[in-house]
């Protein structure tokens, strides 16, 4: 499943967030199957401490592992990406 991740770090927590991010990168490189993968890496939106990324996860557990490693101070919200073409196809089939 593809997911948009909206993320935010408070200014006063940025040092802790950067430290945890470095540790996460090391850990996820050793056991990538435990974590979601990035399709579009973290990018700031309007400021450096708030942004989005697009991830792909095989299961909910990968998202939970990600949150355990980085939260707090990272605050994030996951939103699934739904293929509009597939939605339209399913919708049209359901009307028959």
Element (H, E) at 60: helix 60-70
Residue-wise pLDDT tens digits, 10-22: 999 999 999 999 9
Residue-wise pLDDT tens digits, 38-49: 999 999 988 779
**Sheet containing 37-47: order of strands:** 37-47, 50-56, 2-8, 75-80
CATH of the domain at 74: 3.30.70
Instruction: Name the domain count of the chain.
Output: 1
* Enclosing domain of residue 71: 2-94
pTM: 0.85
Q: Mean of the pLDDT values across residues 60-84?
A: 95
């Amino acid at each position: 499943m593809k997911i948009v991740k909206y993320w935010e770090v408070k200014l006063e927590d940025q040092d802790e967030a950067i430290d945890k991010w470095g540790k996460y990168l090391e850990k996820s490189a050793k056991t990538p199957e435990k974590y979601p993968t990035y399709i579009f890496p973290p990018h700031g939106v309007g400021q450096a401490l708030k942004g989005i990324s697009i991830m792909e996860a095989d299961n909910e557990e990968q998202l939970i592992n990600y949150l355990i490693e980085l939260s707090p101070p990272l605050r994030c919200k996951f939103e699934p990406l739904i293929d509009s073409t597939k939605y339209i196809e399913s919708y049209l089939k359901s009307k028959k």
